């Protein structure tokens, strides 16, 4: 497994009541943009308050970013601002898994990030939060113009005869 593009490891013993501020440098933002398939991440900042609850850690705060994204319709690049609340929960990895054992997972378990030892990577978790905040179908300011130029309708026909109907309408 390769190293994450933006890593900021937190040791449980370093957690204080002060917020943790993460701002990747230009090189890390460039690598993250490549990973997420967008032209650029011009700015990215997360400010999180960490709260230790036994061996679990709650991380809550805000993630902001200024990115350049390609329009899903026209392909033109356009700026997007992201401002998201972040709520993460880090828990120790489950040590014993029995093969073929049925495992029940609650809805809360789905939002937990497991870590091993006494440290976890807050930077990678923030990077994943940014990835989830990026709209893969975002439309830029020229989307409507591109739809008209390329005769893209709002509704897409489906079914076995949709392709034939599209060919017939071009005659």
The per-residue pLDDT for 25 is 96
Q: Are 113 and 4 within 8 A, CB to CB?
A: no
Helix 26-36 to helix 122-133 angle (10° resolution) is: 50
Domain ranges of the chain: 9-142
Q: What is the DSSP string of 41-93?
A: EEEEEEEEEEEEETTEEEEEEEEEEEEEEE-TTT--EEEEEEEEEEEEEEEEP
Beta strands per DSSP E along 71-154:
77-92, 112-115, 119-121
25-53 residue pLDDT tens: 999 999 999 999 999 999 999 999 999 99
The CA distances from residue 10 to 39, 124, 163, in Å, are: 29, 11, 55
Q: 2-11, 83-92, 155-164 — which one is most confidently predicted on average?
A: 83-92
Residue 107 — very low, low, confident or very high, per pLDDT cuts 50/70/90?
very low
110-162 residue pLDDT tens: 478 999 999 999 999 999 999 999 998 888 887 788 778 777 765 555 566 66
């Amino acid at each position: 497994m390769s190293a994450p593009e933006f890593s900021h490891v937190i040791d449980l013993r370093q957690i204080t009541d002060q917020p943790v501020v993460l701002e990747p440098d230009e090189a890390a933002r460039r690598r993250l943009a490549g990973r997420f398939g967008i032209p650029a991440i011009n700015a990215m900042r997360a400010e999180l308050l960490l709260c230790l609850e036994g061996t679990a850690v709650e991380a809550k705060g805000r993630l902001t970013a200024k990115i350049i994204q390609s329009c899903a319709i026209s392909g033109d690049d356009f700026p997007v601002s992201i401002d998201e609340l972040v709520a993460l929960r880090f828990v120790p990895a489950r040590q014993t898994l029995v093969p073929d054992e049925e495992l029940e997972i609650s809805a809360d378990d789905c939002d937990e990030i497991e870590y091993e030892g006494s440290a976890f990577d807050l930077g990678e978790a923030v990077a994943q939060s940014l990835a989830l905040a990026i709209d893969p179908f975002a439309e830029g300011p020229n989307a409507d113009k591109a739809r008209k130029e390329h005769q893209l309708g709002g509704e897409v026909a489906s079914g076995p005869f949709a392709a034939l109907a599209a060919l017939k309408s071009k005659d």
